[in-house]
């Protein structure tokens, strides 16, 4: 198993790109740059989904997130006049240091857990070992499916998860009505005469 | 460190997702602009999506991808409502600083 294959190279390239864009989202003072780098991070995550053989999810990620949601963000930013938004992100304060420390600790826990898990002998979770675990699983109603195909995804969506699917449609209706009602209200949530 | 360790397994995806989630948490904690906070929340949701897809691939079970579908839908609805609230706050205070949100009441 010497040498990296193409999936490993793609993982490291897109993974590094995603992390870099995510850091830039947080540390750019101007929100419009944050939005653009968030779109970049979403697109690279879409590429990672492609590497993971989730083709439908990958395309949905790029159209829904990098397309629709980001257009929504940029439109709202255009509505605001945020030129005087001189936010001092890198200002050193005791509270800021505590926040940074806490997040660093959380990140360290994630990395440490992954590192420890990769060290446990005989428990290496690979594609083949987990798949063979599933063959012998007691839960026999889980059929081995082709995870790359949209057919098997939609079959699950419209049989096992059909109630959740319908519930999501109701949620979307509520969100549409709620956002229109919120955005139309005069002077925000307060009754002020202008 | 041998090259075998660099071979990508599920641990690599989980660590990447954890790093992305931590960056999202950092954004929510240190930023004052409500729009950027919403963006950081999107980042955290995407980190979780990466976890779901990685588990779907490595366990050859498509249910994870169905969950990602639902998370995406709900994240889009959440972004729409959050941005509508941000517009309402901007109309009232002419800025979207998060400290203005404490004045939200009926």
- How do residues B78-106 score in pLDDT, each as one tens digit? 999 998 888 888 887 777 777 777 766 65
Instruction: Provide the pLDDT for residue A193.
Output: 47
CB contact under 8 A, B58 and A156: no
CB–CB of A89/B30 below 8 Å? Answer: yes
Number of separate domains in chain A: 2
The answer to whether residue A165 sits within a structural domain is: yes
| B39, B45, B72, B99: best to mutate for the A interface, most A CBs within 10 A | B39
The answer to whether residue A116 sits within a structural domain is: no
Domain that holds residue A2: 1-83
Inform me whether the pLDDT recorded for B4 exceeds 70.
no
Backbone angles phi, psi at A190, to 5 degrees: -105, 150
User: To the nearest whole percent, how much of chain B has pLDDT over 90?
Assistant: 50
What is the distance in angstroms between the Cα of A31 and the nearest Cα belonging to chain B? 6
Mean pLDDT of B2-15: 77
Please, what's the b/e burial string for A154-183 (b: 16 or more CB within 10 A of its CB; e: otherwise)?
Answer: eebbeeebeeeeeebeebeeebeeebeebb
CB contact under 8 A, B62 and A153: yes
What is the distance in angstroms between the Cα of B89 and the nearest Cα belonging to chain A? 5
pLDDT along chain A (194 residues), means of 10: 77 94 91 92 94 92 90 88 64 83 91 83 54 52 70 89 94 91 64 48
The answer to whether residue A23 sits within a structural domain is: yes
Inform me whether the pLDDT recorded for B52 exceeds 50.
yes
H-helix or E-strand spanning residue B28: helix B10-30
CA distance B60 to B52: 12
Q: Which of A60, A83, A106 finishes a domain?
A: A83
- The one-character DSSP state at A63 is I
Q: Which of A57, A83, A109 finishes a domain?
A: A83
Q: Which of A39, A67, A83 finishes a domain?
A: A83
Integer angstrom CA distances of residue A147 from A1, A120, A141, B88: 25, 28, 16, 43
CB contact under 8 A, B53 and A183: no
Does B99 contact A at CB distance below 8 Å? Answer: no
CA distance B106 to B104: 7
CB contact under 8 A, B77 and A175: yes
Instruction: Provide the pLDDT for residue A156.
Output: 87
Instruction: Provide the pLDDT for residue A13.
Output: 93
H-helix or E-strand spanning residue A113: helix A94-119
Does A79 contact B at CB distance below 8 Å? Answer: yes
The answer to whether residue A134 sits within a structural domain is: no
Q: B69, B34, B3: which is closest to A172 by C-alpha?
A: B69
Inform me whether the pLDDT recorded for B16 exceeds 80.
yes
What's the CATH number where A52 sits? 1.20.120.1200
Nearest CB to A80 within list B27, B36, B90: B90
CB pairs under 8 A between A and B: 264
Give burial (CB, 10 Å; 0-12/13-18/19+) of A119. exposed
What is the distance in angstroms between the Cα of A129 and the nearest Cα belonging to chain B? 9
Number of separate domains in chain B: 1
Torsion of CA B56, B61, B66, B72, to 10 degrees: 0
The answer to whether residue A69 sits within a structural domain is: yes
The answer to whether residue A59 sits within a structural domain is: yes
The answer to whether residue A107 sits within a structural domain is: no
The answer to whether residue A114 sits within a structural domain is: no
What's the CATH number where B24 sits? 1.10.287.3510
Instruction: Provide the pLDDT for residue B1.
Output: 47
Selected residues 34-63 of chain B with any CB under 8 Å from a CB in chain A: 35-36, 38-40, 42-43, 46, 49-50, 53-54, 56-63
Domain that holds residue B57: 3-103
Which residue of chain A comes nearest to B34, CA vs CA? A31
CB contact under 8 A, B18 and A25: no
Give burial (CB, 10 Å; 0-12/13-18/19+) of A89. middle
């Amino acid at each position: 198993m010497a040498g990296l294959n193409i999936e490993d190279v793609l993982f490291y390239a897109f993974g590094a790109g995603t992390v870099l864009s995510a850091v830039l989202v947080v540390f750019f003072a101007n929100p419009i740059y944050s939005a653009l780098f968030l779109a970049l991070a979403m697109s690279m995550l879409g590429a990672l989904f492609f590497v993971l053989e989730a083709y439908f999810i990958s395309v949905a990620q790029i159209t829904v997130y990098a397309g629709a949601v980001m257009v929504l963000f940029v439109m709202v930013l255009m509505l605001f006049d945020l030129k005087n938004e001189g936010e001092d992100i890198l200002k050193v304060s005791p509270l800021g240091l505590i926040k940074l420390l806490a997040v660093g600790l959380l990140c360290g826990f994630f990395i440490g857990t992954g590192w420890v898990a990769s060290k446990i002998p005989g428990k290496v979770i690979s594609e083949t070992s987990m798949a063979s675990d599933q063959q012998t699983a007691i839960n026999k109603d889980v059929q081995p499916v082709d995870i790359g195909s949209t057919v098997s995804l939609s079959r699950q969506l419209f049989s096992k998860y059909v109630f959740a699917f319908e519930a999501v449609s109701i949620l979307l209706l509520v969100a549409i009505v709620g956002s229109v009602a919120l955005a139309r209200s005069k002077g925000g949530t307060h009754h002020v005469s202008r | 460190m041998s090259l075998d360790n660099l071979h990508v397994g599920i641990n690599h995806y989980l660590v990447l997702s954890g790093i992305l989630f931590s960056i999202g948490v950092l954004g929510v904690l240190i930023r004052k602009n409500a729009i950027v906070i919403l963006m950081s929340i999107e980042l955290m949701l995407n980190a979780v999506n990466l976890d779901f897809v990685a588990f779907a691939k490595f366990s050859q079970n498509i249910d994870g991808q169905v969950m990602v579908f639902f998370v995406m839908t709900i994240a889009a609805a959440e972004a729409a409502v959050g941005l509508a609230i941000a517009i309402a706050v901007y109309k009232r205070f002419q800025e979207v600083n998060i400290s203005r949100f404490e004045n939200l009441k009926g």
